[in-house]
A and B are shown apart, each in its own frame.
Chain A
């Protein structure tokens, strides 16, 4: 029988409901980004110099490289910590799973400043970490003011973006396959490598891309926990704008970062499915990723 599941309604009324949201987003996001784009291409007249100089000024590429490297390290840390965590989530009962999920989302919803300040306390000279290591005779274990501290802090808040896609993918793997492999004589490590890992690859790749992409845009954490000598791309963008007042150059750099980000997210979408990428992001909620 024909099922018309939506009550008859003027389609135009539904479109009208979208207008306020679209108008707000256009005004706050699309227009400024558009203006930025135009500025980057048209100052003083149509030119590609601002984009070209990104590659020639010697600074941008170096910082981009450093940012990418940091992002890569953060991504690896997130994978190493996130994989067992996600796997654990598939093994426990529903209530524990819910608790684990809540826990992994907590740093997310915790105030950016509170979190970073906490890391400052912990990682500073004379702080708990330093004290702990000097107990073992390791001096100067100060991770505040360098890339290590930044990495530690970023991994904490980006973990959910690894755990959620992973959990989604791992949850779909039937563990009986592994039992079957064992039954056929494989040792556990081989069973894992040959069966479990390949089946989890989709989630792993989606998680990797997502965490990497989000790491690129971090601002507050590197600004507070890093050092100016080791600044990342977001800080460069900020100084270009507020100190150098180079709006065109900043616009060009911003566009570059934006394009790279969108391309990577689209890729993650395709690999892990839109449920994984955007769903993980939106459900968890990205607040201020910095």
Chain B
């Protein structure tokens, strides 16, 4: 989905600093085992396109940070290969991989000024002094921190420090930037503004960005594609929209956004399925591909796709319906969220309705319905 970026190159690009394009990162059966019961990263294969903004999303311990560290070279591969633009880098030490990196706690050198921090990688590459000065000024302007050259990191705010770290990580024109939950330590507003910064810089610079986070909103906001991690393996990879609209597993449906979940006894074979005596229509393309390790199935529906009516007759035609009782009503400003108990099953879910709808009240018996096109059958 890299419409805005420069064209990806598939042949070996010389690793020269001036070429502002992204590198393709290919992970092939990558595994990292610490000798514990389960490997931290289990047989992951993924191709990150040149110039793409890829997010590794997942809960703590899912292997996303470990995978990032494997790409960076801070961890060694137990099995599999990692290739940058076709060249295997598994045995290359981190300082030779020419990748930029951002850390959650910024990792700015406290004994160096802002300008010295940013110049650090250029000095390592032995660039001539005038060019260092020029590039530092250029990149500080890019992150909007001109004039802060002589400050020390301790004199800057969190947001400013992260921008210095960003400047330092891109000043040497790496073709890959790895970001390890860089916004985790910032408050909400700062996060939002820095997210915008990061997106902007990605567009300007064009390198491949690999972003790690556990925040699904952040992931959906920033990424071209998301790789969803679960317990060391890749649950699903796709655009934010694809993951949101068409989750393939229950984990994916639950991790991104909210879901109503109805567990089924078996994978639907035909055009209908049944749940607690109710028969529901199933649109064939909404059934997820079977997974070898997952034997159960469930129907998932997003709260915003659920209609709530007083009776079954008022429900729109062609929808799947289930009687429900309103357990709670939450006023969210522009909409209301209804907590519903479906049938007598004890299963609880949510529906989203307009704020203006004042008819539904606590304790009411209602009918929840949704279009079969909007439901998904996922593996669990």
- Residues on A facing B (Cβ under 8 Å): 1-4, 7-8
- Let me know if B60 is at the binding interface, CB within 8 A: yes
By secondary structure, the B interface counts as loop
Query: A7–B34 Cα gap in the complex (Å)?
Result: 15
- Residues on B facing A (Cβ under 8 Å): 34, 40, 60-66, 69, 73-76, 93-94, 214
Q: Is the CB of A8 within 8 A of B65?
A: no
Name the contact of A1 in the complex, choosing from B64, B73, B75 (C-beta under 8 A): B64
B93 contacts which chain A residues (CB < 8 A)? 8
Chain B min CB distance to A74 (Å) = 45
A8 contacts which chain B residues (CB < 8 A)? 73-76, 93-94
Chain B min CB distance to A263 (Å) = 38
Chain A min CB distance to B42 (Å) = 13
Which of A1, A2, A4 has the most chain B CB atoms inside 10 A of its CB?
A1
Q: Is the CB of B74 within 8 A of A7?
A: yes
Query: A2–B61 Cα gap in the complex (Å)?
Result: 6
Query: A3–B62 Cα gap in the complex (Å)?
Result: 12
10 nearest CB pairs, A to B: A1-B65, A1-B60, A2-B66, A8-B74, A2-B40, A1-B61, A7-B74, A2-B65, A8-B75, A8-B76
Query: A4–B63 Cα gap in the complex (Å)?
Result: 12
A1 contacts which chain B residues (CB < 8 A)? 60-62, 64-66, 214
Which residue of chain A has the shortest Cβ distance to B34 in the bound complex? Answer: A2
Chain A min CB distance to B204 (Å) = 30
Compute the total of residue contacts between A and B using a CB distance below 8 Å: 26
Query: A3–B66 Cα gap in the complex (Å)?
Result: 8
A4 contacts which chain B residues (CB < 8 A)? 66, 69, 74-75
B62 contacts which chain A residues (CB < 8 A)? 1
Chain A min CB distance to B78 (Å) = 13
Given A1-B64, A4-B66, A8-B74, 20 more pairs with CB closer than 8 A:
A1-B61, A1-B62, A1-B65, A1-B66, A1-B214, A2-B34, A2-B40, A2-B61, A2-B63, A2-B65, A2-B66, A3-B65, A4-B69, A4-B74, A4-B75, A7-B94, A8-B73, A8-B75, A8-B76, A8-B93
Which residue of chain B has the shortest Cβ distance to A6 in the bound complex? Answer: B74
B76 contacts which chain A residues (CB < 8 A)? 8
A7 contacts which chain B residues (CB < 8 A)? 74, 94
Query: A3–B34 Cα gap in the complex (Å)?
Result: 12
Chain A min CB distance to B63 (Å) = 7
Chain B min CB distance to A55 (Å) = 53
B61 contacts which chain A residues (CB < 8 A)? 1-2
Chain B min CB distance to A3 (Å) = 8
Chain B min CB distance to A12 (Å) = 15
Query: A2–B93 Cα gap in the complex (Å)?
Result: 20
B214 contacts which chain A residues (CB < 8 A)? 1
B60 contacts which chain A residues (CB < 8 A)? 1
Chain A min CB distance to B275 (Å) = 36
A3 contacts which chain B residues (CB < 8 A)? 65
Query: A7–B61 Cα gap in the complex (Å)?
Result: 19
Query: A1–B76 Cα gap in the complex (Å)?
Result: 17
Chain A min CB distance to B192 (Å) = 23
Query: A1–B69 Cα gap in the complex (Å)?
Result: 12
B34 contacts which chain A residues (CB < 8 A)? 2
- Please name 11 pairs of A and B residues whose Cβ atoms are closer than 8 Å in the assembled complex, sorted by A: A1-B61, A1-B62, A1-B65, A1-B214, A2-B65, A2-B66, A4-B69, A4-B75, A8-B73, A8-B74, A8-B76
Query: A1–B214 Cα gap in the complex (Å)?
Result: 10
Chain A min CB distance to B261 (Å) = 26
Query: A4–B66 Cα gap in the complex (Å)?
Result: 8
B73 contacts which chain A residues (CB < 8 A)? 8
B64 contacts which chain A residues (CB < 8 A)? 1
Query: A8–B64 Cα gap in the complex (Å)?
Result: 18
Query: A8–B74 Cα gap in the complex (Å)?
Result: 5
Which of A2, A4, A7, A8 has the most chain B CB atoms inside 10 A of its CB?
A2
B65 contacts which chain A residues (CB < 8 A)? 1-3
Chain A min CB distance to B229 (Å) = 10
Query: A1–B75 Cα gap in the complex (Å)?
Result: 14
Chain B min CB distance to A113 (Å) = 40
Query: A7–B93 Cα gap in the complex (Å)?
Result: 11
Which residue of chain A has the shortest Cβ distance to B214 in the bound complex? Answer: A1
Chain B min CB distance to A6 (Å) = 9
B75 contacts which chain A residues (CB < 8 A)? 4, 8
Query: A54–B40 Cα gap in the complex (Å)?
Result: 62
Chain A min CB distance to B106 (Å) = 16
Chain A min CB distance to B350 (Å) = 29
Query: A1–B64 Cα gap in the complex (Å)?
Result: 8
Chain A min CB distance to B102 (Å) = 15
Query: A180–B104 Cα gap in the complex (Å)?
Result: 45
Which residue of chain B has the shortest Cβ distance to A7 in the bound complex? Answer: B74
Query: A1–B34 Cα gap in the complex (Å)?
Result: 14
Query: A2–B68 Cα gap in the complex (Å)?
Result: 11
Query: A7–B69 Cα gap in the complex (Å)?
Result: 10
Chain A min CB distance to B87 (Å) = 20
Chain A min CB distance to B99 (Å) = 14
Chain A min CB distance to B242 (Å) = 25
Chain A min CB distance to B135 (Å) = 26
B69 contacts which chain A residues (CB < 8 A)? 4
Query: A27–B63 Cα gap in the complex (Å)?
Result: 48
Query: A8–B40 Cα gap in the complex (Å)?
Result: 16
Which residue of chain A has the shortest Cβ distance to B65 in the bound complex? Answer: A1
Chain A min CB distance to B32 (Å) = 9
